[in-house]
Structures are given as structure tokens and as C-alpha cells.
Structure 1
């Protein structure tokens, strides 16, 4: 069956710039339209039409970045008008195509699915050192002593610190998962620590040692610049939102850069951020679970959509678990990692969802 789904994906990819016809796909596959739709969704966790929408829009960002005319891009990807394309683009990315073209802001990647015979999704692995060296050539000042790098998670922190990837600057990990459990309005205060520790079913002491102590430099030293290394998935972006909220609460006045990346290929998109509204967004989204009322980076806008959807009992991940509950837990977790990279959950979050389901 996985080979059949790959054939569907290959056919779709070859026809992304043509008007999609489920009947043509079913004729090519030799199965009924219903069967093609059902099996595609069952194996990939996403509908064919949603896959096509996201692939077209993601690929179109490359054309926009190359300064092609928006109307030409719209017609290339089978939109009836520039207005229809712009509406779809803004719905997914939170900004219109012209704004993206002018500012080249980071978006979540949506790459072609590639399934091998064992049903695993292929991933690239590019050396982080090479990418960091390229960044150093562009902004050498980010490698100075007065710079703090905050990295999403202990593993990335240890790799960066051990190899001194950012030169003489300081390093600190953020060992949290803000996309799950309740939080409080003030970040890193006593109530926050107690609430987060309780949500993770651990002691306050353990939470302090794991999350708060490693951030000591952030709390006690002054920096001219803070560089935030967070992936483009929802898990990382909710952690990023929390750190940005704290920087505003603490009155930080230096520069802030986001180095946003995809885990599989580690291609970094560097953006200088302006503080001023992230605390409000943090309260709206992570505290009150509402949509934000501010314009955001597309990658964070997309992550918030995923976060709010994951709060629903019938979200796409839960539906997939329900349909595949007979699989061994280890195999199901591997599939979830591969199928839902934009969620960014780890083993613990998926195991909890599996147990609940």
C-alpha cells in the first residue's frame, strides 16, 4: 500500500501546476476516487486537497522570493485570480504575498512526502557547522562575548557549546514544552514554575534544575544581543513565544535575532525581531487559548494555528492515532514523527496522546 501512496504523491507532484482532478488520479492509479482519497488520508494523515494546497503555496514562496510577478505565480499554480491566490496565501501564512516578497520572512516548510517500502519518511541531515559558518560570514558580531544564544533543548545546547559553534558567545538551553499544559501570565516567576512543574507531573525542585538553572545567564547577565535558535515547528515556536514574552517582561533593550530552521536539513533563516507585542500574544495564545490580534512572523502564525487545533479533542493527530491504534506504540510514534513534522511533538507528548486515545 505504501508504494501505491508514493505513486499518488509522485503523480500529484508532477501535476501541481495543473488543475487537480481526482478522477484523473484515480484513472492513473486504477482505483476508485473514494478509495484513493481514503487511503491517502489514512496513510499520510492529510487529505489530498490539503496536501496540494500546502505544497502549491509553499513552492510559490520560492517564486515570490525570486521576485516573480504575483499574478504570474497565481496562474502558475492554477489559481483563478491573483485575489484568490492572495486569500489562500494569507489564510495559511498570515501575510499576503506582497508582504512576503518584500520582507522574505520565515515560513513553515511543507516538502514532498517520500515514503519508502517500510513506510518511513526520508529526511536529510546537513552539518550544522557548515550552516553556522555561513552565518558567521554574514554577521560576525553575533559571535562575540556579549551575545547569548538560547537554544531549543538540551541536545542542541550541548552540541553548540561543545563545538563552540557560535565562537566566544554564551549558550543556554530552554528545556521546556510550552505547547502542552497550563501556563501563567508572568514567565519564570514562582507561580509559573509551580504551574509548569505540576503540569509535567514533577517536583518544583526538578523543574527548577531542568528549566530555570540552565537559563541563569539570561537572568543574571547583560547582553547586547540575544540569538534565539528555534525550529519552525509548533513545539519550538511556542517555546520561542515564551522566551520573547520574558524578554519584554524583563525590559530587555538589546538586539534580538531569530535563527529559525528546519530540523531535517538545518537551513537557517535569520531575522532580526522587534520586541513590543509578544507578551500580549503569549497571553492571548498560551494563557487564554485565543487567536492573536497582532501580525506575526508567518512561521509563528502557522504554529499558533496548529497549537490551537491541537487543543481540540478531535485534532488530526488524535484521529490518526484512533485509526491506527492496533499498531505497536513504537511504530505508531515513528509514523507520527514522520507525518506531522509541523507539530514537533516529542516522544513524551505522543505517548501521552496515545495513552489518552
Structure 2
């Protein structure tokens, strides 16, 4: 069945800029339109039309970066007008094509899936030295002392710190998963620690050792620059939002840079962030579970949409689990990694969702 789904994906990709016809796809595959739609959604977690929409819009961001005319891009990807393209673009990325083109903001990647591809956790590819050299040429001051790099997780921290990838600067990990469990208004306060530890079913002492102590430099030293290394998936973006809220609460006065990247590659989009609105966003999203009215980075806008969807009882992951309930938990976790890369969940989050779905609907 994986080969069958891959054939459908390949056909869709080859015809992406043409007007889509489910009947033509079905004829090519030799099955009914209903069967093709059902199997595609079952395997990928999205409908064919949603897949096409997201792929077209994501590919169009690369065209926008090259400074092509927005109208030409709209026509190439099958939109009847620039206005129709702009509406679709804003619905997914939370900003207009023109604003994106002017600022080259980070977005979540929506790449062509390879069904048999495995997920092996965080990996940097062999070009990381070249990428770090490129970043040094852009902002060499970020490789000196008086700079703190905050990295999303222990594995990334160990890679950066042991190899001094950011030169003489300091490194700390943020070992959390803010996309699950409750939180508090005051970030990293005593109340925050108690609530987060309880949510993880851990002791306060263990939480402090795992999450708080590794970040001592953030709490005890003053830095001119803080560089935030967080991926584009929802897991990373909720962690990023928490750190930004803390910096605002502490009235940090230095410069903040986001080095955003995809988990399966090491191509960094560096953006200077201006503090001021992130605590309000943190409060809306992670405490009150509502969409903020403040304009956001596209990558964070997309992540918040995913986060709020995952709070729903019948979310997309739960639907996928129920449609594939005959699979073993181990096999289901492997598939969830492949089907929902923009979530960024780990094994423990997916296992909890599998158990919850099966206990609720069995």
C-alpha cells in the first residue's frame, strides 16, 4: 500500500501546477475516485485537495524569495487572480505574500513526502560546517563572548557545545515540551515549576535538575545577544514562545535572533526578533488556548493553528489513529512521525495519544 500512495503523490507532484482532476488521478491509478481519496487521507492525514493547497503555497514561498512578481506566481500556481492567491496565502501563513516577500519570514516546510522514509530524530546534514560559516559571515558578532545560544533540547545542546559550533559563545538547552500539559502566567517561577512537573508526572526536584539547572546561564548572566535555535515544527515553536515570553517578563534589553530550521536538515533562516508582544501571545495560546489577534511570524502562526487543533478531542492525529487502529502501537508511532512532521512530537506524546484514542473510542 505504501507504494500505491507514493505513486499517487508522484502523480500529484508532476501535475501540481495543472488544474487538479480527481477523475484523472483515479484513471491513472486504476481505482475509483472515492478509493483514491480515502486511501490518500488514511495514509497522509490530509485530503488530496488540502495537500495540493499546502504544497502549492509552500512552493510559492520559494518563488516569492526570488522577488518574482506576485501576479506571475499566482497565475503559475493556478489562481484566478492575485487577490485569490493572497487570500489563500494569508489563510495558511497568517501574512500576505507582499509582506512575506519584503521580510523573508520563516515558514513551516511542507515538502513532498516519501512514504518509506524513516525518522531518526534530530540530525544535521554534512553541510553544517558550510552553513555555520555562512552565518558567521552574516553576523560574526554572534560567535563571540557575550552571546547565549538557547537550544531546543539536550541532544542539540550536546552537539553545539561539544563542537563549539557558535565559537566562544555560551550554550544552554531548553529541555521541555510546552505543547503538552498546563502552564502558568509567570514563566520559570516556582508555580511554573510545580505545574509543569505535575503535568509530566515528575517530582519538582527532578524537574529542576532536568529543565532549570541546565539554563543557569540564562538566569544568572547578562548577555548582549541571545540566539534561539528552534525548529519550525509545533513542538519547537511552543518552546520558543515560552522563552520569548520569559525574556519579555525579565525585560531583556539585548538583541534576540531566531535561527529557525527544519528538523531533517540544517538550513538556517536567521531573523532578528523584536520583543514586545510575545508574552501576550504566550498567555493567549498556552494559557487560554485561543488564537491571538497579534500579527505573528508565519512559522509561529502555523504552529499555533496546529497546537489549537491538537487540543480538540477529534483532532487530525486522533482521526488518523482511529483509521489505522489495526496497526500495532510501534508501527503506528513510526507512521505518525512520517505523516505529521510539522507537529514535532516525540514517542511519548504519540503513545499517550494512541492510548487516549483507543481508551475513548474502543
With normalisation by structure 1, the TM-score equals 0.97
User: 2:347 corresponds to which residue?
Assistant: 347
Contact preservation (8 Å) 2:119, 2:337: no
Q: 1:354: how far off? A: 1.1
1:59 is paired with a residue of what secondary structure?
helix
User: 2:315 corresponds to which residue?
Assistant: 315
Q: How large is the RMSD of aligned CA atoms in angstroms?
A: 1.3
Q: 1:125: how far off? A: 5.3
Matches of residues 43-82 of structure 1 in structure 2 within 5 Å? Answer: 43-82=43-82
User: 1:255 corresponds to which residue?
Assistant: 255
Q: 1:326: how far off? A: 2.2
Q: 1:130: how far off? A: 3.0
Q: Distance in 1 between matches of 2:331 and 2:48?
A: 24
Contact preservation (8 Å) 2:248, 2:275: yes
Q: Distance in 1 between matches of 2:13 and 2:108?
A: 19
Q: Distance in 2 between matches of 1:312 and 1:259?
A: 30
1:271 is paired with a residue of what secondary structure?
strand
User: 1:279 corresponds to which residue?
Assistant: 279
1:28 is paired with a residue of what secondary structure?
helix
Q: Distance in 1 between matches of 2:34 and 2:118?
A: 24
User: 2:210 corresponds to which residue?
Assistant: 210
Q: Deviations over 1:205-253 (max 9, x none)?
A: 0001111111100000000000000000000000000000000000100
Contact preservation (8 Å) 2:285, 2:304: yes
State whether structure 2 residue 6 is matched by structure 1 residue 2.
no
Matches of residues 112-127 of structure 1 in structure 2 within 5 Å? Answer: 112-116=112-116, 120=118, 126-127=125-126
Q: Distance in 2 between matches of 1:24 and 1:237?
A: 39
Matches of residues 285-296 of structure 1 in structure 2 within 5 Å? Answer: 285-296=285-296
Q: 1:115: how far off? A: 2.2
Q: Distance in 2 between matches of 1:23 and 1:17?
A: 17
Q: Distance in 1 between matches of 2:73 and 2:187?
A: 43
Give the unaligned 5+ runs of structure 2. 358-362
Q: Distance in 1 between matches of 2:97 and 2:132?
A: 29
Q: 1:122: how far off? A: 10
Q: 1:143: how far off? A: 0.6
Q: Deviations over 1:159-187 (max 9, x none)?
A: 10000100000000000000000000110
Q: Distance in 1 between matches of 2:150 and 2:329?
A: 33
User: 2:360 corresponds to which residue?
Assistant: none
Q: 1:147: how far off? A: 0.1
